[in-house]
Structure 1
Amino acid sequence: MLAKILLGPLLLWQARRLRRTALRLPEAEGPRSGMEQPYAARAGVIPLRLLVVGDSSAAGVGVAHQEQALAQPLAHHLAARSGRPVAWQLVAQSGVNSLEALDLLARHEIGPATVLVVALGVNDVTSQMAPQRYIANLRLLCERLMVQAGVEHIVFSGLPPMHLLPVAPQPLRWYLGCYARKLDRALRDWIGAEAALRYCSLQWALPHEMAIDRFHPGQGQYAQWARMSAEIIETEFLRHQPVTESV
């Protein structure tokens, strides 16, 4: 990219300064696995098994507790929408990109999962992961979890609108936004060619709703993200599945 060549020294200086001065928030406290029950339990209903994998946003940075983050509210919404218990597990760590997430998974015991939700990409932008490598890493992650955990359905969260990122100065903000759109296009193109994959856009996220670090989602954004992901999973994957054990 010509802009990267021309603006390289300034972009590098701004990125290094941002790493030194940015407010660092902890990952959300609370359990990283559990069971969410539907409002009205029925006998013989098959539990839905959910796995959420990702970076700091999946880990709930920006809110205090997992009840306000992504994975647990998503499981709660799925239980309410499907009428099924939802066993959920979260495997996430701040700072990981798509390549490092593979190592993260290797260091965790992964339980059975039918549905996988993936939130990776922002650190691929900041580490300048090539689009082809980004997709290759995600493909390998999916293949591993299909074999290891029995995953059948996968929802990928898209890249957020990094061109609006309030913590980053210009022109770094503009450059990160351009690169995020490039990775997001590659992600959508890949998902469009795979029947088991779905895409959840995050382009609706607005800067004034972000956490106090001006980088991570705020509580309202996490709530919207969980609702949207649950709707995609329920309408695209679960609506025509049997929910009770056969006898």
Structure 2
Amino acid sequence: MVLRALLSWLAFPVYVWQGVAVRMRTPRMVPPPGPVRHLIEGAEPSINLLVLGDSSAAGVGIDRTDDGLAARLARLAAEKTGRRVVWRSAGFNSATAGQLRDHVVPNLAHEAWDHIVLTVGTNDAKNFHTVHRFDREFGQLLYALRAKWPEARIVWSPVVEMTLVPALPRALGKVLEIRASLINAMGERLCRERGVVAASRLPIIDAKAGFSTDGFHASAAGYQAWAEHVAELLIAGEPAEHGVSPS
């Protein structure tokens, strides 16, 4: 881990040079219009789903929130269990673990969320946050969530393979992949220690279809693939309504 971190810092000039160029030519996208909370009718007891995190949790890259990660996860959970699903997305452009800990979780109403999906880590890697900093900030974020929703099933979705992100030049993708792998390793360790489920990395099978026009955020198809990737982990152990067989 120390050697990889050192290599990434040695490549920092590449990160700055190519990163500035990517930022200048990439349009800054905003969250799409549409509801950030909704419900799908079904049998009680309801599944109460909170998707918390960065711009991916906000649905950046698509035209409407109905195609975002939270809405698609909610539909899959309803289909697989036959139960009522209440969902909310709380996502923010460029959010890091520390910002979610300090500015988002304390300001979320104390509602009965019993299923939480976290999309955080990409900006920590992209901003060259140290592993020590991520250890502190992500670890404290997990503590904050556990304190506020002690019985919730929490699933963290780690950072994707950065060398496969279309917007990133090859050299920049390699540098950021080192940072992402360090962040992911620490995140997985913290999840094990603090009763959180760490999903495997979302596989990028078709980058052309899976990414939005900016080449960085997910497309509608990408969010669907993401939802399918974490849905089983999210609802594992949840009873299905009679007559509904989880697939």
TM-score by length of 1: 0.86
Aligned equivalents of 1:164 and 1:134: distance in 2?
Answer: 23
Helix, strand or coil at the partner of 1:47: strand
Opposite residue 78 of structure 2, the aligned amino acid is A
Q: Deviations over 1:182-214 (max 9, x none)?
A: 211222233344544242421335422211100
- For 2:181, the equivalent position in structure 1 comes to 181
Helix, strand or coil at the partner of 2:178: helix
Task: Give the CA deviation at 1:67.
Answer: 1.0
- For 2:201, the equivalent position in structure 1 comes to 201
1:221 counterpart = 2:243: no
Q: Deviations over 1:121-164 (max 9, x none)?
A: 11001111222332332232222223324442110001111112
Aligned equivalents of 2:51 and 2:77: distance in 1?
Answer: 13
1:52 counterpart = 2:51: yes
- For 1:127, the equivalent position in structure 2 comes to 127
- Cα distance change, pair 198–166 in 1 and its aligned pair in 2 (3 A): closer
In structure 2, which of residues 18, 22, 32 is the aligned counterpart of residue 18 of structure 1? 22
Contact 1:32 1:89 in 2 (8 A): yes
Aligned equivalents of 1:5 and 1:195: distance in 2?
Answer: 32
Aligned equivalents of 1:127 and 1:183: distance in 2?
Answer: 11
Uncovered stretches (5+) of structure 2, i.e. residues with no partner: 242-247
Helix, strand or coil at the partner of 1:80: helix
Opposite residue 217 of structure 2, the aligned amino acid is H
Contact 1:68 1:219 in 2 (8 A): yes
Pick which of 127-136 and 193-202 moved more. Answer: 193-202
- Cα distance change, pair 160–239 in 1 and its aligned pair in 2 (3 A): same
Aligned equivalents of 2:137 and 2:15: distance in 1?
Answer: 26
Contact 2:154 2:197 in 1 (8 A): yes
Helix, strand or coil at the partner of 1:171: helix
Helix, strand or coil at the partner of 2:118: strand
Aligned equivalents of 1:173 and 1:196: distance in 2?
Answer: 28
- For 1:211, the equivalent position in structure 2 comes to 212
- For 1:117, the equivalent position in structure 2 comes to 117
Task: Give the CA deviation at 1:220.
Answer: 1.1
- Give the aligned length: 235
Aligned equivalents of 1:123 and 1:57: distance in 2?
Answer: 11
- For 1:35, the equivalent position in structure 2 comes to 39
Task: Give the CA deviation at 1:107.
Answer: 3.4
Contact 2:72 2:227 in 1 (8 A): yes
Q: Tell me the percent identity.
A: 24
Contact 2:139 2:190 in 1 (8 A): no
Aligned equivalents of 2:155 and 2:76: distance in 1?
Answer: 15
Aligned equivalents of 2:131 and 2:7: distance in 1?
Answer: 18
Aligned equivalents of 1:33 and 1:105: distance in 2?
Answer: 16
Q: Deviations over 1:89-142 (max 9, x none)?
A: 111101111111121233343422111100001100111122233233223222
Aligned equivalents of 1:142 and 1:207: distance in 2?
Answer: 31
Aligned equivalents of 2:194 and 2:148: distance in 1?
Answer: 20
Task: Give the CA deviation at 1:50.
Answer: 1.1
Contact 2:96 2:123 in 1 (8 A): yes
CA RMSD of superposed structures (Å): 2.2
